[in-house]
Structure 1
């Protein structure tokens, strides 16, 4: 058990006071992430900065330091989720959660129980995924109507790229057999031409009438963020790269940070509606860098599970479609050019091989169009979010431009149960190719995409090094050579997210002068058998020398 002396530990979700920034930590393995000195026996922190990391015998005087005995737990540089959705993580704690539903019947049993427990108002939820259900199909409005008769229901698929709504919700949105899906979207219809209730990608934009009818979300934005901060501190994350951060929520997050309510670091990549304003203002930072906003998130295509990822060749299990592009170069490139001139980072969602290829071409076009002396920063560090399905011939673009590949290991261990059916075997050569990209010198940032996935750093680390599902299964088409070493996995969740947020000089490793962000687990990730990694627990989360969560 972790032992902390002379320190009142914070309750999860509580405000973070400017205290306890002077620490001495010892009593377990300490991995620094520094190649020249990978291990330390003791770390000292003063005023939120690391002042010593090395042998205990060499440590300076500890007067005035709060002593933390790890009691055998293992300390690492602070883990950062390089791609997640903070508002969705919080909402998952407050809305209907369908994660882990094993069938249509189980998912609808949960909906029925929720409806009975919450007899008034709309029902919002997410987390279902049909790929391993015995029924082998998407949910429909008829399923929802039977479980919650007459209710306004919207349930997002786990990937967030499709939602199923009830008949009442269809009516509220004004969607019927004559409704035409917008470009980049699909309204699934039955044999009679009637909507099944499933809307894919851009078709979800048709929900305006639904939102108008349900009124304000009963869960406030502040409550969602409070819950998200609490969950992530408890998991051991010291930071999050918040993708698709709603532009209108940025002032709220900044206010929460200034008030001490942001227990972990937030690096915002905002929705495109905030691009013009962010380009005009330049990067934003508050509370000594606790919340930084300096990126815009764009979308090139959809998701593989809902067949929205844009492919060069048709889907193997639905040959009439090649997926859905959400934007074209004519619209994207001017935004990218403006970003170069303003010093704002670009992060573009791309999953399919065609989606990824198009984005690399658009990036190159924008970089050629803007003279180097007009770039606000010499190294813009543009990113592609997901980079899931690549043609091996496109790897070089990530190295040469260069492009940061922001990837989520847990997607592979879930998707490989259906990726072969969607893609066929040949296209799996470029699927979730973490190791191939790393070998070429590409920065690969590890993330979770929570709430699409659970958001547990131990699951993500395990997926990266084992490339097996949580039951230990690895199919013959899972390309085991794409698993990474543990040293690489550690960089994926520490140093490389720091680099991707322009903060490698102060975050990502345990070395003198850097900010005191630490994560401790009850297992040694670098030595424990891989199968044990997902069963570990976070023990301690420290941000700027402040203990923001402890399992003790």
Structure 2
């Protein structure tokens, strides 16, 4: 009989050697708190091991301990809850930084307080040039109105001042700014814009949507040094909140090489997925997507606009505003021109993200997207085009998002801020399709969660809370606010993890804590999956980890 050679392991034992080669030691181990993987097969774990920026083990603590070497970093969560890296699916990164570095009117409780902040800012502002601020919103103000030029004139009578409303779709200019821009009672608003006027026909100072362009020449825009400062400030804010990535909207293409250079120099601590503003998107539409050398800065989308914002009554509605029967809002772009841009993007393999808030705005975009893929509906799913905000939708059109494979990119905090004025703008009947996250998901559409910062604060815990509570931070919910549209906690988690990963064509790399994926984690002081709902926004980020490296440590 033929005698077989003994297995290698038997020979090794006979020679007194180890039978199995040990696994390479992990670079880092994470344990010491609940770990929610976001993976359906194994939704929780005790420990995670990371090697070379990727996850190499997810399981029990003993299994992770086996990968511990002399130089392995052991990260004790101290009871904090670990999640896949949270990604803000819609924000304006440079604007977030600029909010930190310029006049910030966010949180002003009255017109009077906003003017007090302006007066304080003027004490240290440069003596010349236009003063620019942002963040005011009149909702809940005792004055019950927009700011006007008289408010600003009382504080700054001699130099131009532009104060941008929180939504970015309206601003108020003082008399000096109006005069410098040549705006008076005879000035006609451009298409897609509105100049508000008083009962005497004089401009109030409020410029809506495209009318803001009339004063654009007064704001020369930031230098490259100022842009760098703004991005550095934004990165610090975002990582401190626990975000590991951001879908960066309305980007000036000139900022893309700047961001790529920051990443090459190790100055971009989070992932940035850019959607370039159409006005500067020529190079992107010519060259196609820019994936970035390490996936840290990816540019493969173009941002379009179809209407304005609900608060400033610029959102395009099918029927008139309930509190302004003379207006149905406005389209800020010519649909025929948008169709041409869609064709260019489709040919270039560039994703499209279109701002649409009103129900008419959403109908127009859905129609345009449908026409773009009429000859090849299957290609729509591959393209992964998006509607940004998708706030007000006619109930009969909710299923169109799933049928046409259009991603609904929504911001939960808009619903808990807008609940204080949306019923007045829309009336009770139109609330059926307002901020309809659950209805969209039930229809089979993919919903991505974001913050729209600096329009909103930009805290992921506020966004998660808004999605599951559908109440403001004081626990208030307006009459008829459709509590059934609140999401389950697993669904809310998906808004900020698996959904933005898919929307950025990165589902194989990001979105869950699974072996082989990039080691992006967000850890919070509150366990979002089990804590009382009202406790969620009271928590804070504890750790932010990107590619296995701790980029924020708040332990």
TM-score (norm 2): 0.93
Partner of residue 163, structure 2: 155
Shift of residue 475 of structure 1? 2.1
Distance 2:548 2:208 in 1: 44
Secondary structure of 1:117's aligned partner:
coil
Match of 1:137 among 128, 145, 148: 145
Secondary structure of 1:450's aligned partner:
coil
Distance 2:377 2:152 in 1: 54
Match of 1:281 among 264, 287, 299: 287
Distance 2:263 2:286 in 1: 23
Partner of residue 429, structure 1: 432
Match of 1:302 among 301, 308, 317: 308
* Contact 2:172 2:207 survives alignment (8 Å): yes
1:404-432 per-position Cα deviation (integer Å, ceiling 9, x unaligned): 00000000001011001000000000000
Unaligned runs of at least 5 residues, structure 2: 1-24
Distance 1:201 1:524 in 2: 40
Match of 1:409 among 393, 412, 425: 412
Shift of residue 177 of structure 1? 1.5
Q: Which moved more, 1:271-280 or 1:429-438?
A: 271-280
Match of 2:39 among 34, 54, 66: 34
Structure 1 residue 124 corresponds to structure 2 residue 132: yes
* Contact 1:40 1:54 survives alignment (8 Å): yes
Structure 1 residue 510 corresponds to structure 2 residue 513: yes
Distance 2:92 2:310 in 1: 19
Distance 1:366 1:218 in 2: 37
Match of 1:389 among 387, 392, 395: 392
Distance 1:65 1:351 in 2: 49
Partner of residue 401, structure 2: 398
TM-score (norm 1): 0.93
Structure 1 residue 57 corresponds to structure 2 residue 62: yes
* Contact 2:356 2:362 survives alignment (8 Å): yes
Partner of residue 23, structure 1: 28
Structure 1 residue 350 corresponds to structure 2 residue 350: no
Distance 2:136 2:183 in 1: 22
Q: How does 1:82-93 map to 2 (within 5 A)?
A: 82-93=89-100
* Contact 1:296 1:347 survives alignment (8 Å): yes
Match of 1:318 among 313, 321, 324: 324
Shift of residue 209 of structure 1? 3.1
Q: Which moved more, 1:219-228 or 1:460-469?
A: 219-228
Partner of residue 494, structure 2: 491
Shift of residue 108 of structure 1? 0.7
* Contact 2:157 2:175 survives alignment (8 Å): no
Shift of residue 298 of structure 1? 0.3
Distance 1:468 1:430 in 2: 17
Partner of residue 103, structure 2: 96
- Count, aligned residues: 528
RMSD of aligned residue pairs (Cα, Å): 1.6
1:332-367 per-position Cα deviation (integer Å, ceiling 9, x unaligned): 112112222221000000000000001000000011
- Structure showing greater radius of gyration is 2
* Contact 1:96 1:111 survives alignment (8 Å): yes
* Contact 1:337 1:367 survives alignment (8 Å): no
Partner of residue 183, structure 2: 175
Shift of residue 370 of structure 1? 6.2
Taking CA–CA contacts closer than 8 Å with sequence separation of 6 or more, which of the two structures ends up with the larger relative contact order? 1
Secondary structure of 2:382's aligned partner:
coil
Partner of residue 9, structure 1: none
Shift of residue 116 of structure 1? 1.9
Shift of residue 216 of structure 1? 5.5
Shift of residue 300 of structure 1? 0.5
Match of 2:242 among 215, 236, 244: 236
* Contact 1:94 1:219 survives alignment (8 Å): no
* Contact 2:166 2:454 survives alignment (8 Å): yes
Secondary structure of 1:349's aligned partner:
strand
Distance 1:331 1:370 in 2: 21
* Contact 2:408 2:446 survives alignment (8 Å): yes
Structure 1 residue 47 corresponds to structure 2 residue 52: yes
1:215-236 per-position Cα deviation (integer Å, ceiling 9, x unaligned): 7569711111110111000000
Shift of residue 436 of structure 1? 0.5
Structure 1 residue 271 corresponds to structure 2 residue 274: no
Q: 1:162 to 1:530 in 2, by over 3 A?
A: same
Distance 2:445 2:202 in 1: 47
Secondary structure of 1:247's aligned partner:
coil
* Contact 2:412 2:450 survives alignment (8 Å): yes
1:53-87 per-position Cα deviation (integer Å, ceiling 9, x unaligned): 11112233211321100010110000000000001
Shift of residue 286 of structure 1? 2.2
Structure 1 residue 196 corresponds to structure 2 residue 201: no
Q: 1:216 to 1:433 in 2, by over 3 A?
A: closer
Distance 1:219 1:143 in 2: 33
Structure 1 residue 340 corresponds to structure 2 residue 343: no
Unaligned runs of at least 5 residues, structure 1: 1-19
